[in-house]
Amino acid sequence: MKISEYIKKVQNKEIDIVSYTKEVLEKIKKLNEEYDCLIEISEELALKQAEKISKDPKGKLAGVFVSVKDSICVKDVNSTGGSRILEGYKPPFNATAVQNCVDEGAIIIGKTSQDEFGFGAFSVNVGVEYKIPKNPIDKTRATGGSSGGAACITALADFPHISLGESTGGSIVNPGSFCGVLALCPTYGRVSRYGLIDYGNSLDKVGPIGKTAEDVAIGMETIASYDKKDSTSIDKEIPNYLEKLNSNINGMKIGLIKESLDSGTDKNVKDVFNKQIEFLKSKGAVVEEVSLKKAIDYGIAAYYVIGTSEASTNLAKYCGMRYGKEDELKGTFNEYFTNVRSKYLGDEAKRRIMLGTFTRTSGYRDAYYIKAMKIRTLIIDEYKKAFEKFDVLISPTTPMIAPRFDEIEKMTPLQHYMADVLTVGPNLAGLPHINIPIETETMPVGFMVTGNHFD
């Protein structure tokens, strides 16, 4: 059943939403035992919301099940950003994106697993003693990251469902590509970041993940809003995403990012991707190559300097006081603070805090942090120039299919970072981008479309 048909049935009280919610919760529990895609199942909240909808079945998302990345706050439900250091934190408020869903009749089913604070491309950098989610198609492979649990549960769900993910450098489209689902990262500022546990404030975006284009469109229409509580939120008219779904692409000018098909991209990914280009051409689109050399060649370095710099300042507030994990108050402030951070932050969080501390240190700041921010300008200019000629830009989403866990174990941190090579560009430039899954006989391949700001 299409999600729009389901919503209509709920609104017309043709579905017993309370018993259906119970059924869905049982399904989720079973799936989670097998795939570890959720950190927490919010059973009590879901049933309470279902009761409410059964009496007053209103809203754009009436009765739709919504899972939320752990780094997005849900009122009174553990929200830890996938980190042990925030264990026990139950926010006294909803993130704006979550509140928008609740106001439109959604049922919140739980918090999805992720790399700690979003620090990863495979969801293997989970917090201390958290579980690693497994790929829904092949359990020996990674889900992608950092919104790995979100893409995983979306692929597995056989009920009307949307997941709220979050991207800093590719964390929405990357797991979308590895798990074979649609995943949309909107323009920076389109969706409020209020209630999002920050990774990099100038990079973070909340976006919807779904099985179909319709799921993603309805999700986007619900969460997009101007929000006074987020000073970077942008007050611009929100288009009717659903109406635009079946637009004709005849005559559309598509720029194929030349460098994305260089030697760094696996041959099997290129072959599957190229077949889709033929399909677009057959529908009347005009496909031409475009070079985005700066974005592809320098994006990773610029992104990791900026991202770790921002992350290291954001994570400074986690000190075992006020909320989250606490120890017995012993020693001086610095000793206590250092001890809590050392015990409850994982390896990748420590690495990124150290990298970001280094790049902002007096004497190195100009060479790394300031330099990266200037290169970001050049990358934005490169995209803007491309959009003078093209309506959209395309490339594979990731240079490989979902890797196996034993392959990931052999990779160095820098090799992990390289998985983001095709996604850091639009993230640095704040451009909207979507993963469209291409099914194959084995693992799915991701097809990424990048648009201009607010397109």
Partner 1 sequence: MDVDEKLVKDIAKTARLNLTDEEVKKFTPQLKEVISYFEKLDEIDTENVKMSIQPVEVRNVLRDDVVEESYSNELALSQTKHKKDGYFKGPSAL
Other C-beta atoms closer than 10 Å to the C-beta of 179 total 34
- Is 247 catalytic? The answer is no
Largest CA distance in the chain: 70
Q: Which of 123, 171, 177, 312 is catalytic?
A: 171
Strands 286-290 and 253-257, by their bridges, are parallel
Q: Is 206 helix (H, G, I), strand (E, B) or coil?
A: strand
- Is 171 catalytic? The answer is yes
Q: Which of 42, 71, 123, 146 is catalytic?
A: 146
Do residues 121 and 419 touch, judged by C-beta distance below 8 A?
A: yes
Residue 170 token pair: 């590719």
Do residues 209 and 147 touch, judged by C-beta distance below 8 A?
A: yes
Q: Which residue has the tokens 């619900």?
A: 222
How far is the C-alpha of 38 from the C-alpha of 27, rounded, in Å?
13
Q: Which of 60, 69, 134, 294 is catalytic?
A: 69
DSSP code for 163: E
How far is the C-alpha of 143 from the C-alpha of 346, rounded, in Å?
19
How far is the C-alpha of 259 from the C-alpha of 445, rounded, in Å?
18
How far is the C-alpha of 179 from the C-alpha of 301, rounded, in Å?
26
Residue 130 token pair: 């958290």
- Is 342 catalytic? The answer is no
How far is the C-alpha of 150 from the C-alpha of 146, rounded, in Å?
9
Closest CB 338 distance from partner 1, rounded Å: 5
Residue 455 token pair: 């397109």
Strands 205-210 and 161-167, by their bridges, are antiparallel
Do residues 35 and 152 touch, judged by C-beta distance below 8 A?
A: yes
Closest CB 221 distance from partner 1, rounded Å: 21
Distance of CA 244 to the CA centre of its chain: 23
How far is the C-alpha of 428 from the C-alpha of 258, rounded, in Å?
19
Do residues 149 and 156 touch, judged by C-beta distance below 8 A?
A: no
Do residues 348 and 82 touch, judged by C-beta distance below 8 A?
A: no
Strands 182-185 and 107-112, by their bridges, are unpaired
All residues at 6 or more sequence positions from 209 whose CB lies less than 8 Å from its CB, including other chains = 147, 150, 151, 154, 162, 163, 164, 165, 172, 175, 176, 181, 182, 183, 184, 216, 219
What amino acid positions are annotated as catalytic residues?
Answer: 69, 146, 171
